[in-house]
Amino acid sequence: MRLQFENVSKAFVDPANGKGLLALRNVDLTVEDGEFLCVVGPSGCGKSTLLNLAAGFERPSRGRVTLGGEEVTGPHPRIGMVFQEQSLFPWLSVLDNVAFGLRNRGRPRDEARERAREMLEKVDLAKFEKARPSALSGGMRQKVAIARTLVLEPEVLLLDEPFGALDEQGRKHLDLELLKLWEGGGRTFMFITHNIEEAIVLGSRIVLMGTNPGHVHRQWKVGLPRPRNLFREDEVGLRRDISCSLQDVLAECGCRRTELLAPIEIKEMNKKA
């Protein structure tokens, strides 16, 4: 299902000092149905803000976010979110953690647990269904978090640096596992990462965000065959191109002052949204 950001701006007020900050300005971005979109960029460019707007956790100050042409005004059952922190319930088993969302939606216990078992099979964790999260590695806990979201059958999956806390080998392994889930599920993925190599391995398109305020700086359509090899000439060339553009963004960030707004300006923006 198509996810669309239409001329989206987002401003915040810092409660500590009362100063306003324009985090995103005039973002026009479409995530096509079935696409694996990767978003990269430096810290503070609004990547996570973009995901929170897509998930309905925040509302734009200007513009709108739509899913299948309908405006997203709050958390949506067709949109799932996976965070960097797994937020699993430590007192529940792996099986009951995955079944939790289904039970919360009113599914009978046996049905929810059966669906959860099927999803654990897909992420190769079936033999750990009785374990508590504390008994699992960080990568395994993140797979449980992904399974807990996918079992709800969202049409769009938002992932906010889900493997950022893992070591390089663990991240590479889970990247490939995630790719299998995307290829077999027909879902739309929007994936935030700081890692250019990860974006090249996963993405069917890569978006680079600029800063002060956050905006779409450049995009690349990635038509390279899978599985991708980061040492092949085409992949190396793409990595070089994205890296050079990222350096441009960082240089631009150093030259541009953070755009501050008065609280009254933010209130006016939010009124018009």
pLDDT in tens, 81-96: 998 776 899 999 999 9
Q: What is the pLDDT of residue 170?
A: 82
Residues 162 and 72 in one domain: yes
pLDDT in tens, 139-180: 899 889 999 999 999 999 999 988 887 788 888 888 888 898
Q: How would you classify the pairing of strands 70-71 and 20-31?
A: unpaired
Asked if the structure places residue 22 within a domain, the reply is yes
Q: Which of 153, 177, 209 is the last residue of a domain?
A: 153
pLDDT grade for 270, boundaries at 50, 70 and 90:
low
Asked if the structure places residue 31 within a domain, the reply is yes
Instruction: Report the chain's mean pLDDT, rounded to a whole number.
Output: 88
Mean pLDDT, range 96-101, rounded to an integer: 94
pLDDT grade for 57, boundaries at 50, 70 and 90:
very high
Domain that holds residue 254: 3-78+155-272
Phi-psi group of 46: left, alpha or beta (phi > 0 → left; psi -120 to 50 → alpha; rest → beta):
left
CB 228, CB 201: distance < 8 Å:
yes
Residues 267 and 190 in one domain: yes
Long-range residue pairs from 261-264, CB within 8 A, at least 24 positions apart, any chain: 261/11, 261/20, 261/21, 261/22, 262/20, 263/13, 263/18, 263/19, 263/20
Residues 124 and 189 in one domain: no
Cβ burial 241-263 (10 Å sphere, 16+ → b, else e): ebeebbeebeeebeeeeeeebee
pTM of this prediction?
0.88
Residues 134 and 160 in one domain: no
Long-range residue pairs from 58-61, CB within 8 A, at least 24 positions apart, any chain: 58/10, 59/270, 59/273, 60/8, 60/9, 60/10, 60/273, 61/9, 61/10, 61/11, 61/266, 61/269, 61/270, 61/273
Residues 167 and 62 in one domain: yes
pLDDT in tens, 255-269: 554 555 545 455 555
Q: Please tell me the distance from the alpha carbon of residue 6 to that of residue 8, in angstroms, as a whole number.
A: 5
Q: Is 55 helix (H, G, I), strand (E, B) or coil?
A: helix
Counting the structural domains of the chain, the total is 2
Task: Say which amino acid occupies 42.
Answer: P
